[in-house]
Amino acid sequence: MKDLFFSEWHRFQRHALIVAVCHGLVLLFMSRITNVLQLPDDDQGMMLAIYMVLGLALAMVQVGSYRKPNQWLWLIHRPLPPTRIFAALSLSALTMLTLTVFVPLLLFVFATDVFTTHVVDTRHYVALFHVLAFSMMAWFAGTHAILSRNKVTVAVLVAPFLLAMHLASVWSLVLPVLICLAWLTWITMYSFRADRSAPIARSSVLLLTALPLQLGFFLLVFHLSKVAVSAVELMANNNYPAETVLASDKNAGAWLRSFSQNGFIKGLEGSQDPKAAEWREQIPLLEVAELVPDLERFPLRNQISNLRARWWDAKSGIEWTFSHDRMMFHGRDPKTGADRGWWSATGAGDQDAFSQIPLSGMTSSELFAIDDATQRQHVLLHLPPGERFVGRPVRALDRTLVLTNQRVLAYREDRQAASRFPPLQLDWQLALAVGDGEVPTVGIVELLDGWLVSLFYFVPKELDGFESLALPWQQVVYIDATGNPTVVGVSKNVRDVNVSIGRAPLVPKAAWWLSPILYTLARWPGSALDKGLTQPPQVAPLPVVSMFYPVAVVLMLLSCGLGYWWLRGSQINAARRRLWLASCMFLGLPAFFSLVCLEPRASRV
Amino acid sequence: MSISNLYAITKSVAPSTPVVSDYVIETDRLDLNYGRKKALNQLSLRIPRGRIHAVVGANGAGKSSLFRVLLGFQSPTGGRASILGHDCTALTQHERARIGFVNEEHSIPSWLRVDEVVSMQRRLYPQWNDARYRGVIGHFHVQPEQRIADLSRGERAGVNLAMALAQEPELLILDEPTLGLDVVAKRAFLETVLFSMEDTDSTIIYCSHQMEEIERLADNLIILEQGELKHMSPPDEFCERVQLWIAEFPFAAPKLDALPGVLQCQHIDGVFHFVVLDQDDGFGALLEQQGARRQNRGTANLDRAVNAFLSRGHATPAPEEGRV
């Protein structure tokens, strides 16, 4: 085994060194342009994808060279158990990925930590191990696909992707990543056997191989349908309803204002309230303040990647970067690289750590104000436990308007207070019509005798399949001068692209009905790991477009029928056959696809 | 002698309880299908220990498929196969240590040096015989510090063979090992194989299309055709079964339907050459009945005999009726 390990090392050492040096140079070059460690999650996700491609490419070159029958025979036909041959190859791959991926990154992070004033946290060091683990998972997936009967088994790679696509703490990811790594190691180890074309004999291995494959197939179809449905919906909805536009001039501001005003007018069309006609006439003359649920998530402590955790103080020329270790912002002069101290929960120079990581001047429950002159930070607003911001507060209509997961709130400044930044005083509040998880887009106008609030609710059918079958509904509420709310208008199934735009048609959609069980399973890592979301993911119950339940049942039956046809004449034992047919029945077509990959069809001579 | 008689020879020495089998290879109604194609078709074969056994057959006859099944790299569709008394589908590393394999590609890691590959193999095989390795590699003039990638095909074959023989395997399978070698390398290779047999009781399965190699090496000849066993005997016995008849037909071409056992019929320079199987002098009488004049009986060499045997039924154009 040791010899085989050194043989592989000898084979790739030169290439690995070249890649490592190139990787280091690229990191160095990037560090001259940007702060690599604080790049947002999209960019760091791209970097992770490149490292995974590197692992996949190594598998294709290294293990792919043994794929030909004679080469495979040379590798396996020796007095060593195949597990030790696998161990030698995977250890050599780990060594090479450590050299090419981990070591340059470690040196880069360490050098940044020691020689610069950039913020480097413990999470950055821990994240390097995750990067190495994900590259190694890609190597396992590539190796498994190369050695399997069917190349599409590379779909097992979807399992680690399900973990990688979440902004969770590096510590909470350790266990899932290790489990995923062990899982892929196990199924790849089993593919190191003399007869690669033979079906998997051990039920445990078959189960562990089939499940990620099925998830992979499901998500593949899932995301393909997402793209397809999005495209179709975009094409179908690109005709803007000109009749809804009230503004006479055609500038963009007027257009946008008229959309909001139109929402009120449409919502009041069916209203029985005696003042409704009067309000409809007033609205085109009034300013509309809008609150949208635009905060998807807040950062978590020790998060594996970054949301926007920096802010730029243009006046002082300081770039403030949040340190997860100290739970404070660290100041740095980007021109000279000089250290400019810390910014705590109370302002510059103090050592009071934030309780949560702030984003855009607020945490999920606190809104801050900053006194530029004194460099102090004040808490303007503090939400009670269980309530959190879902949109950025808006300063309009002489109020601070706030949207949380439970209420719409309007605050006014305490003009009598002695302090320049006193806590805000509640003017009025409106409880949302539906409980947590269904957050509306809100429009507010101020009347002479109160307020009108228009709320468009979207049933959280994020993965429903066809959003056009689940249109938003609208509620218009009148709030009198004393703050008492009265519902004055309700409209169901609002068909207005201006309402839906940016929401339903662009955030769709996939086919849960392809496999309801896998749909739930695929969403589970999200519900377990996405702790920073302002609107928690809805795993259950399944979306309720009733016409798709028969579709799901038909697809299950079809899958079962196809499974029966595939296994007809096969030599597999009855228990295994029953297991496959049950999988095809309950997991649907993805189970049939995995059956095609894992069980050879009986030959017909 | 018929094929069933040849079977009888090997069957007669079969032990009643083959815990340690006298046969290095046993297959029983072995089937292997690739989709609709039958690579092996009800192949029942017993190869006794010791000696050099040559496996011949046309391309696609099932030779390489048989080796893949025997080494456990392909599961049979039906039947069973064992090698050194062990089920082929469950070979452990201990059994693999007793089986050497050399293929036509001489797959050795090209990025290593000769001494690195050898030291790797030496550590793997407990029964490694260094003296034998040195003895064999000496025929091929290969330096230990040479990289495998820099070796010629013949030198690579030499290293491969030397390593395979130094493992002292009970069974050595050579699958077209001389393919692509020049005359000198081929001769060195064959001499080494012959030389190695002098002081061991190994069994060698030798697969080749080169009949002069088979003629020189093989103690036993196994002919496969379309996945079926067609013949198994010493090469001399096979050659005795195949005769060459040369006859002149001055008036009309012979009717082949009336001539039994014809494997091949060629019309060369006005003379008919018949390669026939299992015929006695009565075949001459039949030729006379067909109008033959000046007939002559000879023996076919192994190359011609095997060639005729394998190409019967599809390689020879029938002479035109009634014309010479």
* Per-residue confidence (pLDDT) for residue A250, from 0 to 100: 55
Read off the tokens for B215. Answer: 């003629």
pLDDT band for position B107 (cuts 50, 70, 90): confident
Q: Do A11 and B89 touch (CB under 8 A)?
A: no
CA pair distance B186, B180, nearest whole angstrom: 9
Tens of pLDDT, residues A396-439: 888 999 999 889 999 988 777 777 778 888 899 998 887 655 67
Question: In the predicted model, is pLDDT for residue B4 greater than 70?
Answer: no
Question: In the predicted model, is pLDDT for residue B305 greater than 60?
Answer: yes
- Measured between beta carbons, the chain B residues lying within 8 angstroms of A197 are 74-75
Domain stops at, among B198, B233, B268: B233
Average pLDDT score, chain B: 79
- Measured between beta carbons, the chain A residues lying within 8 angstroms of B109 are 7, 11
Assess whether B134 and B275 both reside in one domain: no
Comparing alpha-carbon positions, the chain A residue that sits nearest to B39 is A605
* pLDDT > 70 in chain A, percent: 85
CA torsion B290-B295-B297-B298 (nearest 10°) is -120
- State the best of A2, A74, A196 to mutate against chain B, taking most chain B CBs within 10 Å: A74
Assess whether B72 and B181 both reside in one domain: yes
Assess whether B190 and B248 both reside in one domain: no
Model pTM score: 0.82
Helix, coil or strand: residue A350 = coil
- State how beta strands B52-56 and B203-207 pair: parallel
* Per-residue confidence (pLDDT) for residue A557, from 0 to 100: 92
Read off the tokens for A96. Answer: 């090479």
Assess whether B161 and B259 both reside in one domain: no
* Per-residue confidence (pLDDT) for residue A605, from 0 to 100: 47
In a domain, B318, yes or no: no
User: For A603, which of B77, B111, B124 is closest by C-beta distance?
Assistant: B77
Q: Do A195 and B116 touch (CB under 8 A)?
A: no
- Measured between beta carbons, the chain A residues lying within 8 angstroms of B119 are 3
Q: Do A605 and B36 touch (CB under 8 A)?
A: yes
Residues in CB range of B254: below 8 A, 6 or more apart: B247, B265, B272, B287, B290, B291, B292, B319
Assess whether B212 and B249 both reside in one domain: no
Q: Do B108 and A74 touch (CB under 8 A)?
A: yes
Greatest mean pLDDT among A5-9, A132-136, A418-422, B269-273 lies in: A132-136
B237 in Cβ contact with B284 (< 8 Å): no
B278 in Cβ contact with B291 (< 8 Å): no
How close, in Å, is residue A605 to chain B by CA atoms?
5
- Measured between beta carbons, the chain A residues lying within 8 angstroms of B125 are 79
Of A360, A266, A383, A348, which is closest to residue A307 (Cα–Cα)? A360
* Per-residue confidence (pLDDT) for residue A441, from 0 to 100: 84
- Helices A82-97 and A41-62 cross at an angle (nearest 10°) of 140
pLDDT band for position A512 (cuts 50, 70, 90): low
CA pair distance A6, A20, nearest whole angstrom: 19
A126 in Cβ contact with A184 (< 8 Å): no
CB pairs under 8 A between A and B: 75
User: For A11, which of B38, B77, B109 is closest by C-beta distance?
Assistant: B109
Comparing alpha-carbon positions, the chain B residue that sits nearest to A192 is B73
How close, in Å, is residue A574 to chain B by CA atoms?
19
Number of alpha carbons in the 13 Å side-chain half-sphere of residue A402: 28
CA pair distance A322, B189, nearest whole angstrom: 72
- Measured between beta carbons, the chain B residues lying within 8 angstroms of A194 are 71-73, 91
Question: In the predicted model, is pLDDT for residue A160 greater than 90?
Answer: no
Domain stops at, among B206, B233, B260: B233
Assess whether B259 and B220 both reside in one domain: no
Return the CATH number at B257.
3.30.70
CA angle at residue A293 from A290 to A295, to 5 degrees?
125
Read off the tokens for A466. Answer: 């066809």
- Amino acid at residue number A501: I
User: For A80, which of B36, B72, B93 is closest by C-beta distance?
Assistant: B93
Comparing alpha-carbon positions, the chain A residue that sits nearest to B38 is A605
Assess whether B92 and B36 both reside in one domain: yes
Of B111, B134, B102, B312, which is closest to residue B223 (Cα–Cα)? B312
Q: What is the mean pLDDT of residues A297-326?
A: 84
Comparing alpha-carbon positions, the chain B residue that sits nearest to A194 is B73
Q: Which residues of A touch B (CB under 8 A)?
A: 3-4, 7, 10-11, 69-74, 76-81, 194-195, 197-198, 603-605
Q: DSSP readout, A64-78?
A: GGG-SHHHHHHHHSS
Assess whether B153 and B285 both reside in one domain: no
Label residue B11 exposed, middle or buried (CB < 10 Å: 0-12, 13-18, 19+). Answer: exposed
Q: What is the mean pLDDT of residues A63-79?
A: 88
CA pair distance A276, A376, nearest whole angstrom: 47
The alpha carbon of A219 is separated from its chain's Cα centroid by a whole number of angstroms, namely 14
In a domain, B321, yes or no: no
User: For A3, which of B91, B101, B123 is closest by C-beta distance?
Assistant: B123
CA pair distance A100, A20, nearest whole angstrom: 4
Sketch the domain layout of chain A as residue ranges.
2-198
Q: Do B97 and A79 touch (CB under 8 A)?
A: yes
Task: Return the bridge partners of B40, or none.
Answer: B32
Return the CATH number at B173.
3.40.50.300
Lowest mean pLDDT among A31-35, A69-73, A275-279, A536-540: A536-540
Residues in CB range of B195: below 8 A, 6 or more apart: none
In a domain, B200, yes or no: yes
Q: Do B119 and A197 touch (CB under 8 A)?
A: no
- The residues in B 124-163 lying below 8 A from A, measured between CB atoms, are 124-126
Domain stops at, among B179, B203, B233: B233
A379 in Cβ contact with A367 (< 8 Å): yes
The verdict on ipTM greater than 0.90 is no
| Cα-Cα-Cα-Cα dihedral sign, residues A123, A129, A132, A134 | negative
- State the best of B83, B98, B107, B174 to mutate against chain A, taking most chain A CBs within 10 Å: B107
Lowest mean pLDDT among A55-69, A233-247, B214-228: A233-247
Question: In the predicted model, is pLDDT for residue A542 greater than 60?
Answer: no
**Between these two residues, A352 and B3, which has the higher pLDDT value?**
A352
Average pLDDT score, chain A: 82
- State the best of B73, B159, B173, B175 to mutate against chain A, taking most chain A CBs within 10 Å: B73
Assess whether B217 and B256 both reside in one domain: no
DSSP letter for A365, please.
Answer: S
How close, in Å, is residue A153 to chain B by CA atoms?
20
* Per-residue confidence (pLDDT) for residue A500, from 0 to 100: 46
Helices (H), B59-217: 63-70, 93-97, 114-124, 130-137, 153-166, 183-198, 211-217
User: For A194, which of B33, B72, B97 is closest by C-beta distance?
Assistant: B72
Comparing alpha-carbon positions, the chain B residue that sits nearest to A197 is B74
B44 in Cβ contact with B229 (< 8 Å): yes
* Per-residue confidence (pLDDT) for residue A459, from 0 to 100: 58
B178 in Cβ contact with B157 (< 8 Å): yes
Assess whether B303 and B225 both reside in one domain: no
Lowest mean pLDDT among A49-53, A314-318, A539-543: A539-543
Assess whether B191 and B256 both reside in one domain: no
pLDDT band for position A237 (cuts 50, 70, 90): low
CA pair distance B195, A375, nearest whole angstrom: 93
Helix (H) or strand (E) holding B245: strand B242-248
**Between these two residues, A485 and B179, which has the higher pLDDT value?**
A485
- Find the radius of gyration of the CA atoms of chain A: 29
In a domain, B279, yes or no: yes
The boundaries of the domain holding residue B138 are 3-233
* Per-residue confidence (pLDDT) for residue A294, from 0 to 100: 82
Tens of pLDDT, residues A109-145: 999 999 999 999 999 999 999 999 999 999 999 998 8
Q: Annotate B224-258 with b (16+ C-beta within 10 A) or e (fewer).
A: bbebbbebbbebeebbebbbbbbbebeeebbebee
Assess whether B99 and B42 both reside in one domain: yes
pLDDT band for position A150 (cuts 50, 70, 90): confident
Question: In the predicted model, is pLDDT for residue B218 greater than 50?
Answer: yes
Number of structural domains in chain B: 2
Q: Do B120 and A4 touch (CB under 8 A)?
A: yes
Question: In the predicted model, is pLDDT for residue B322 greater than 80?
Answer: no
pLDDT band for position A543 (cuts 50, 70, 90): low
- Measured between beta carbons, the chain B residues lying within 8 angstroms of A81 are 92-93
Tens of pLDDT, residues B171-212: 888 888 887 777 877 787 788 777 777 777 788 888 888 888
Question: In the predicted model, is pLDDT for residue B15 greater than 60?
Answer: no
